[in-house]
């Protein structure tokens, strides 16, 4: 439930939307579309004047992620990345991967406690936990300490059961068919 306060500004009317109770979402599973679902919610939210902040774990600035380019064109949404500039392989993790994941978690704590955003998305954080880049207990602490009015969305494969138990929404994407099985590589604008 939300309500609006209209404040006069020199050039425009600013609408501040406050969530009475922010809930917790987990988008997990082996299927495509977890980040896309989070971005769909973000797109809907900014249409209503909400401020959205997305932190991407494991994803770095060297890959042209379409959502990062798009976010620069829309108001009230910001995306920051904490990953190497290339695709990360679970079996070839480096010390940099661990460091960036920890920096991303620390940044998430800061963003949540500042309380300047209505929705915070922690993209691929469940994958970072599954790969042991982050400790499950640290992520649980972050979830439990979030301000009550902020909607928190966590995405990524293999979400731990402890995080699933804390969530209000849990969506599992499953694969029925995917072009990867036919050798079709990830396509710009579709998979990234």
> Which CATH number belongs to the domain containing residue 116 in this structure?
3.40.50.300
Q: Which long-range contacts (CB under 8 A, 24 or more apart) does 60-63 make?
A: 60/84, 60/85, 60/86, 60/88, 60/100, 61/85, 62/86, 63/87, 63/192
Within a domain: 38: yes
The full DSSP string for 65-120 is: -HHHHHHTTSTTEEEEEES-SSPPPGGG--HHHHHHHHHHHHHHHHHHHHT--SEE
Query: Quick check: is 1 in a domain?
Result: no
Domain count, the chain: 1
Per-residue pLDDT at 108: 98
pLDDT digits (tens, 9 = 90+) for 29-71: 999 999 999 999 999 999 999 999 999 999 988 888 889 999 9
Is residue 87 one of the residues assigned to a domain? yes
Note whether residue 3 is domain-resident: no
pTM above 0.95, yes or no: no
Task: Please indicate, yes or no, if residue 98 is contained in any of the structural domains.
Answer: yes
DSSP label at residue 92: G
Is 126 within the bounds of a domain? Answer: yes
Q: Which domain holds residue 63?
A: 22-182
């Amino acid at each position: 439930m939300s309500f609006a306060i209209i404040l006069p500004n020199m050039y425009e009317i600013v609408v501040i939307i406050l969530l009475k109770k922010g809930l917790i979402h987990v988008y997990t599973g082996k299927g495509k579309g977890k980040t896309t679902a989070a971005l769909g919610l973000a797109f809907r939210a900014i249409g209503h004047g909400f401020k959205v902040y997305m932190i991407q774990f494991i994803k770095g600035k060297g890959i042209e992620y379409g959502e990062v380019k798009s976010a620069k064109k829309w108001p009230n949404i910001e995306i920051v990345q904490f990953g190497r500039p290339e695709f990360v392989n679970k079996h070839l993790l480096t010390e940099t991967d661990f460091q960036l994941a920890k920096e991303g978690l620390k940044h998430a704590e800061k963003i949540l406690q500042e309380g300047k955003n209505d929705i915070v998305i922690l993209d691929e954080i469940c994958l970072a936990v599954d790969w042991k880049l982050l400790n499950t207990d640290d992520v649980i602490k972050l979830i439990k300490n979030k301000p009550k009015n902020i909607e928190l969305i966590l995405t990524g494969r293999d979400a731990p059961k402890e995080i699933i138990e804390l969530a209000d929404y849990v969506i599992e994407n499953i694969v029925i068919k995917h072009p990867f099985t036919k050798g079709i590589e990830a396509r710009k604008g579709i998979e990234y």
